[in-house]
Amino acid sequence: MASQYVVLDMFAGAGGLTEGFFRNDFNIVSHIEMNTHAARTLETRALYHALVAKGHPDIYYRYYNQEMTRDEFLEECTSLGIPDSGVVNCELSRVTEDLIVKQVYGRLAEIGRDEVDVIIGGPPCQAYSLIGRGRDPESMRNDPRNNLYLHYLRFINEFEPEIFVFENVPGLISARNGEIYSDFLQRIDRLGYYTHNEPQILNARDFGVLQNRKRIIFIGWRKEHDFGYPAFECDDSRRQVWNVLRDLPELEPGTGTDGPQSYRPVRPCGYLRKYEIRNGQKYVRHHIARTHIDRDREIYRIAIRMWNEGKRLHYDDLPENLKTHKNRSSFRDRFKVVDGDGFSHAVVAHLSKDGHYFIHPDIQQARSLTVREVARLQSFPDNYLFEGPRTAQYVQIGNAVPPLMATGIAREIMNMLEKA
Active site amino acids = 125
Residues in the chain, overall count:
420
Long-range contacts of 316-325 (CB under 8 A, 24+ apart): 322/295, 322/298, 324/295
- Which segments within 118-200 are labelled E, that is strand? 118-121, 163-168, 193-195
Q: Is 202 strand, coil or helix?
A: strand
Short-list 205, 136, 195, 209, CA closest to 171: 136
Long-range contacts of 291-298 (CB under 8 A, 24+ apart): 291/253, 291/254, 292/253, 292/254, 292/366, 292/367, 292/368, 295/322, 295/324, 296/356, 297/253, 297/366, 297/367, 298/322
Short-list 197, 249, 190, 256, CA closest to 223: 190
Whether 229 and 259 have beta carbons less than 8 Å apart is answered as no
Instruction: Measure Cα distances from 225 to 167, 408, 417 in Å.
Output: 21, 21, 10
Distance CA 62, CA 5 (A): 31
Q: What is the largest CA-CA distance in the chain?
A: 68
Sign of CA dihedral 385, 388, 390, 391: negative
- Which segments within 113-239 are labelled E, that is strand? 118-121, 163-168, 193-195, 201-203, 214-222
Distance CA 296, CA 335 (A): 10
Distance CA 177, CA 188 (A): 19
Question: How big is the CA angle at 111 (ends 107 and 114), to the nearest 5 degrees?
Answer: 80
Short-list 92, 168, 90, 176, CA closest to 141: 176
Short-list 318, 170, 340, CA closest to 244: 340
- Which segments within 273-357 are labelled E, that is strand? 283-284, 287-288
Distance CA 254, CA 290 (A): 5
